[in-house]
């Protein structure tokens, strides 16, 4: 059973995600939530502290907990949001057991049951933007099918058909000059590829659990990374 603070947290996230409470507006007060759920102050305070930690809300004296504006170039986007009008083709959906090498790369446990699949992202003109291999936990995605992926993608499935809440991702970006073996592995024979950008990353939920480990290979001409650096 969910902890009390998680129930409150999920409710507040629902209000934010569905734009019931928009950026700049104030979330329900602690007293209102105490009345709604019949909980003591402690789990409600923990839920708000988690939102503050994730920089989703901020505490404003005299107002309450205000939803923060999103910084568009510091958000975790799905492929469909990054490349409007493009299409994803998912293939090679299969189960496997996590070995020592994959455990080292991904953070999953040795002998854990995983699902592996490939994705090819193309423009409206059928130009290949990127290709990717992903690994997710079988236990967490028991009901996921290849049809689900091709209809809406993984991010949509997580957000709409599971109880998980995506928090953030970690990334390691590198350039690959010799991509012949990778192209063979992905069966790419259509066009010559001159180098690849490797985006090796993990997607986490709000509790720090890995939802997806993936290796995305971008054609350099489609890769652009905009971000803001903050000085403490």
Position 73 scores a pLDDT of 38
Q: What is the CATH number of domain 4-67?
A: 1.10.10.10
Within the chain, which residue ranges are assigned CATH 3.40.1410.10?
A: 79-222
Closest to 206 (Cα-Cα) out of 160, 155, 165? 165
| Average pLDDT estimate for 130-149 | 96
d(CA 203, CA 178): 27
8-17, 63-72, 73-82, 113-122: range with lowest mean pLDDT:
73-82
Residue pair 174/215 in contact (Cβ under 8 Å)? The answer is: no
Residue 81 has pLDDT above 80, yes or no: no
Position 77 scores a pLDDT of 54
The 8 Å CB, 24+ separation contacts for 174-179 are 174/198, 174/200, 175/220, 176/217, 179/217
* Cβ neighbours around 27 below 10 Å, total: 22
Position 170 scores a pLDDT of 83
| Average pLDDT estimate for 212-225 | 88
Query: What does the pLDDT look like over 20-61, one tens digit per residue?
Result: 888 889 999 999 999 999 999 999 999 999 888 877 889 999
**Predicted TM-score (pTM) above 0.85:** no
CATH 3.40.1410.10 fits 79-222, yes or no: yes
């Amino acid at each position: 059973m969910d902890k009390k603070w998680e129930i409150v947290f999920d409710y507040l996230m629902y209000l934010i995600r569905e734009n019931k409470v928009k950026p700049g507006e104030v979330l329900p007060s602690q007293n209102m939530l105490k009345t709604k759920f019949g909980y003591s102050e402690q789990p409600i305070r923990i839920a708000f502290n988690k939102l503050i930690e994730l920089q989703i809300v901020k505490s404003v004296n005299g107002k309450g907990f205000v939803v923060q504006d999103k910084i568009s170039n510091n958000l975790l986007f799905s492929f469909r949001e990054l490349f409007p009008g493009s299409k994803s083709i998912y293939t090679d959906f299969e189960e496997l057991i996590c070995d020592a090498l994959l455990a080292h790369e991904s953070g999953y446990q040795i002998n854990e049951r995983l699902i592996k699949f490939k994705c090819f992202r193309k423009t409206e003109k059928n130009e290949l933007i990127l290709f990717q291999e992903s690994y997710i936990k079988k236990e967490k995605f028991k009901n996921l099918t290849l049809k689900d992926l091709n209809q809406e993608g993984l991010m949509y499935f997580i957000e709409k058909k599971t109880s998980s809440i995506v928090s953030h991702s970690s990334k390691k970006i590198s350039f690959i000059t010799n991509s012949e073996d990778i192209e063979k592995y992905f069966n790419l024979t259509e066009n010559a590829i001159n180098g690849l950008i490797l985006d090796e990353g993990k997607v986490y939920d709000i509790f720090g659990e890995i939802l997806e480990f993936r290796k995305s290979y971008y054609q350099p001409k489609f890769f652009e990374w905009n971000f803001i650096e903050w000085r403490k």
